[in-house]
Structure 1
Amino acid sequence: QDPVWHGEGNVAVHTRMVLEEIRRLPPPDSGQPPETALVLQLAAVFHDIGKPLTTRWREPLDGGPARVVSPRHAEAGRNYLCLRLAALGLPWEVERAVLALTALHHHPRRLVMDDAPPALWRRLASQCPPRLLFDLETADLRGRVCPDLEGQLEILDLFRMRCMELDIWDNPDPWRDWRQAMDAAFPSRSPAFRGHALATAMSDAATGLIQSVEEGIARAWQLKDPAPEFMLLWGPAGSGKSEWIHRHGGEAAVISLDDLREEVAGKRDDQSMNGQVLQEAREQVKRHLRSGDGGRVIFDATNLRRELRSSLLELATDYGATTTIVALRTPLAELENRNRGRPHPVPRSVLVRQCERLEWPDAHEAHELIIVR
């Protein structure tokens, strides 16, 4: 770790100090979930687990001494944990909270320092309770030796006060007032339409396209009703994507990259023509979504990298579709067993590489994120 911001020593020393700070917290009050203490202790243990994966030396531009940096270590930690936490046998609500805290524990100070718009505060609160983020980041700061500690803690206090101003501090539905306004504006429309309208407004607000729910209501009149559905599956080889399609796909049009590789390159494991395969897949997505029948399209691939997901989800949104990511969260040991039993298993080295490079999907990447366990 950088000796300026972590004068206490290495990650193990810092983690122990953070855990000690968490244990000093008063017991959760009656309004908090009973698993709160366990969530915070696990988050303290794992919050910097991504640092060994990302730490490197960086030469400063001003010619000063090299510094130790760990870029995007919080997200890397969540990606590392997302298929490994299952081995602990924890309730999903505990796992979900620990993953969110690991990935987002630096965000409270960023929101304050960036003077972020309210929509980004609501987005963060919908991903993880602000009170838990505040407690973990307070412990993260107190569990280190660094300059300007009091100034950093003051920034966290500003985070807490702003959350209270926005009524998201202890609010399980940070978008509740927007949801109520959308329901009131479209009382005769289907729940699917109102959900699509709300999700679109939330996304537009987070990107700065709109500033108020009233603008979101005005823009909702442009949405298709019924809208086509675009579902993007996520999961390494052996996670059960084909089985999920068999059970839940129904009459959906399924676009499979493996099938397209077999069609274009002659073998489903031939990666040499991936550019052409992806282009054909995109053309098929366009063709199905513009058919106008409000049908469902399922994109069957590993979709482990955010860049590819983003491209496909933006394409579907441009065609007026609702978007859903279906993440099949299968434990590592089970992945290997399932892969061996597939009609077309991938080499173990490929599966290991997939698990090392995967990026867990964020809830805001699509209109909806479904976790299959």
Structure 2
Amino acid sequence: MSWKLTDNKDWLSLEQQFRWVQDMNNVAQHRLHHEEGDVAIHTRMVLEALQQQPDYQALSMTEQEVLWTAALMHDVEKRSTSVDEGEGQITSKGHARRGEYTVRTILYKDVPAPFHIRETIAALVRYHGLPIWVMERENPAKKVCEASLRVNTRMLKMLSVSDIQGRICRDKASLMESAELFEMLCREQDCWGKTRDFATNHARFHYFRTENSYINYVPHDDFKCEVTLLSGLPGMGKDYYLSTLSQDIPVISLDAIRRKCKVSPTDKSANGRVVQEAKEEARNYLRKGQSFVWNATNISQQMRSQLIDLFITYGAKVKIVYIEKPYEVWRKQNREREFMVPEPVLDAMLGRLEIPQLTEAHEVVYLTL
């Protein structure tokens, strides 16, 4: 059976089913860009425009559901980011990024979706404005290639076109022109409707990790060791995963260091010392060319990036292993742990979760159910 957000897509029913749909009412928008009214009115118009597109009608039922859900949720966090700057000047900076987190939480906890479907919808919400603004971004070619690793750019354009058509504004023609330029750029970069291919994983990693890099450059693979960076919320099963590894490999565990030093996970000042001790242990392995595993939550891109910078300085290949279990299984596993994490803490961490992406490491493995 294919996944659906809901069988009843009538707007009044959606408001009754989902609080976040109710919240769209009376969220004002910039008068110049949205003469039609609030976010609820705009979203209904976007859904209507999407379903009228011949390209949308030609999609599979699952693809239609994914795109429809993304359209419904694309402005879900204007409720939390909109700021009235006076005289109808309303901004909602960061609503797409925050919307990605909200989508991930809703489709993990409240209306569970398969991992790849959830992350596709989250990516569509995150990038829904890219086709309109891509030519104003720094290095637009790299930006569309990055987006293609997460979402089908053809579907992204369909969402963006619906976003444009589902509003009343005076610059609609120029916005549609921007969407066409987005398609042209994707075709030029060989990522229209597909993932941008790279000759090797190292070539992909180098391109996204290096400023002003040439997209077709293929660096020589000359790794001295491999570092496996685990990522996942507390209680997802990272320790169990380590127990299944066939080879005997050193593990740097932040939790083990905390327990050795009798440091609470909530003690931020002490945690800094824990991380420094772990990094020094990592340097010892890296200097010797010894492969190892770094075992910690690593749920933010910023934290992973800092560690990966360290690892590649010593010539290591980096593999991220992301581990996730269904919501109810996760909570049960946490309750059964020797060192249980309070559930409000887990909820807060879930709301900040950033799934590792292919741009971050030489290899990314998703162990999900």
TM-score range (shorter-chain normalised) is 0.7 to 0.9
Question: Which residue is equivalent to 2:52?
Answer: 24
Deviations, residues 90-134 of structure 1 (Å, cap 9, x unaligned)? 444432321221111122233222373533332222221111110
**Alignment partner of 1:349 is 2:344:** yes
**1:158: which partner in 2?**
181
Question: Structure 2: how far apart are the matches of 1:103 and 1:241?
Answer: 28
2:97 pairs with 1:69? no
CA contact (8 A) 1:22 1:139 kept: yes
**Aligned counterparts of 1:256 and 1:316: Cα–Cα separation in 2:** 16
Structure 2: give runs of 5+ residues left out of the alignment.
Answer: 1-27
Partner-residue secondary structure (3-state), 1:327: strand
Aligned to 1:360, which of 334, 352, 355? 355
1:136 is displaced (CA, Å) by 0.3
Shift of 1:89: 5.0
Which secondary structure state, in structure 1, belongs to the residue aligned with residue 339 of structure 2?
coil
Q: Take 2:297 and 2:209, find their aligned partners in 1: how far apart are those partners?
A: 27
The residue type equivalent to 2:136 in the other structure is M
Relative to structure 1, the CA distance from residue 79 to residue 370 in structure 2 (aligned partners, 3 Å threshold; closer, same or farther) is farther
Q: Tell me which residue corresponds to 1:278.
A: 275
From 219, 227, 230, the counterpart of 1:230: 227
Match of 2:142 among 119, 136, 139: 119
User: Would you say the 8 A contact 2:205–2:361 is kept in 1?
Assistant: no
Counterparts of 1:75 and 1:157 in 2: how far apart (Å)?
A: 24
Structure 1 residue 327 displacement after superposition: 2.2
CA distance in 2, matches of 1:247, 1:317: 26
CA–CA separation in structure 1 for the residues paired with 2:120 and 2:178: 23
Secondary structure of the equivalent of 1:357?
Answer: coil
Name the structure 2 match of 1:47. 74
What is the CA deviation profile of residues 244-292 of structure 1, one whole-angstrom value per residue up to 9, with x for unaligned ones? 2222374232211111112223556655511111111111222222212
Is contact 2:201–2:363 with CA below 8 Å preserved after alignment? no
Distance in structure 2 (CA, Å) of the matches to 1:56 and 1:337: 40
What residue in structure 1 maps to residue 205 of structure 2?
A: 200
How far has the Cα of 1:342 moved from its partner?
Answer: 0.8
Within 2, Cα distance between the matches of 1:268 and 1:105? 36
Q: Secondary structure at the match of 1:156?
A: helix
8 Å contact 1:260–1:268 — kept in the other structure? no
Distance 1:50 1:323 in 2: 34
The answer as to 2:331 corresponding to 1:308 is no
Give the structure-1-normalised TM-score.
Answer: 0.81
Identify if the C-alpha distance between structure 1 residues 230 and 8 changes in structure 2 by more than 3 Å, giving closer, same or farther. Answer: farther
Task: Give matches, 1:290-305, under 5 Å.
Answer: 290-293=287-290, 295=291, 297-305=292-300
User: How many Å separate the matches in 2 of 1:100 and 1:69?
Assistant: 22
Tell me the residue number matched to 1:7. Answer: 35
Q: Is the 8 A contact 1:27 1:37 kept in 2?
A: no
Q: 1:128-186: CA deviations, max 9, x gaps?
A: 1111110001111111223311111111111112222333213x3422xx41xxxxxxx
Q: Over the residues paired in the alignment, what is the CA RMSD in angstroms?
A: 2.7
Evaluate the alpha carbon distance shift between residue 298 and residue 156 of structure 1 in structure 2; reply closer, same or farther with a 3 A threshold. same
- Percent of pairs identical after alignment? 31
CA distance in 2, matches of 1:341, 1:280: 29
Change (3 A) 1:174 1:353: closer
- Map of 1:123-142 to 2, 5 A cutoff? 123-142=146-165
**Residue 66 of structure 1: how far off its partner (Å):** 7.6
- Relative to structure 1, is the Cα distance of residues 153 and 319 closer, same or farther in structure 2, using a 3 angstrom cutoff? same
Q: Indicate conservation of the 8 Å contact 2:253/2:296, yes or no.
A: yes
Whether 1:211 and 2:234 are equivalent positions in the alignment is no
For residue 114 of structure 1, what is the amino acid of its counterpart?
Answer: R
Query: 1:258 aligns to what?
Result: 255
Counterpart of 1:184?
Answer: none
Equivalent residue letter for 1:347? P
Cα separation, 1, equivalents of 2:117 and 2:75: 18
2:310 is equivalent to residue 288 of structure 1? no
1:199 deviation in Å?
2.8
Closer/same/farther in 2, CA of residues 270 and 201 from structure 1, 3 Å limit: closer
Structure 2 length normalisation: TM-score? 0.82
| 1:327-346 superposed matches below 5 A | 327-346=322-341
Following superposition, the deviation at residue 234 of structure 1 comes to 2.1
Of residues 93-102 and 276-285 in structure 1, the stretch that sits farther from structure 2 once superposed is 93-102
CA distance in 1, matches of 2:332, 2:365: 24
Equivalences, count: 339
**Which structure 2 residues correspond to residues 168-187 of structure 1 after superposition, within 5 A?**
168-170=191-193, 172-175=194-197, 178-179=198-199
2:64 — aligned with what? 37
User: Higher mean Cα deviation, 273-282 or 260-269?
Assistant: 260-269
The alpha carbon displacement at 1:299 in A equals 1.9
Change (3 A) 1:163 1:128: same
